[in-house]
Amino acid sequence: MLIISLRENDDFFVEGKRVVVTKVSGPNDFTLLIEATGKQHRITDEEATEILPDVLVSAGGYLKIAQVRIVIDAPRSIAILRGSKFRQDPDQYREQRA
């Protein structure tokens, strides 16, 4: 399990696929966009939502105003990186996963 804190328009990558926090509606209610598919998912703390195969996401509440905790449950073999980390050297990331 991985827990990250993000704000609206922040992102993370799952196996190289960009996932963006598009809307924060409340402490346990936000929307994620899977950029590769254009699909949006409403995320709450009521149940985990499968956003990609074997990748489940739920809400973990606010840390600060307009910032949410994203709880990600996925196998360790699935690479998950904050957007800022992925953008530091995306080619190196792709080479390691190849």
d(CA 3, CA 88): 21
What is the structure's pLDDT at 94? 58
The domain limits of the chain are 2-97
Place of tokens 């992925």: 86
How confident is the prediction for the chain on average, in pLDDT? 89
Please report the sign of the dihedral spanned by the C-alpha atoms of residue 80, residue 50, residue 44, residue 31.
positive
What is the structure's pLDDT at 3? 94
Residues 51-97 pLDDT 10s: 999 999 999 976 677 789 999 999 999 999 999 999 887 776 654 55
What is the structure's pLDDT at 27? 81
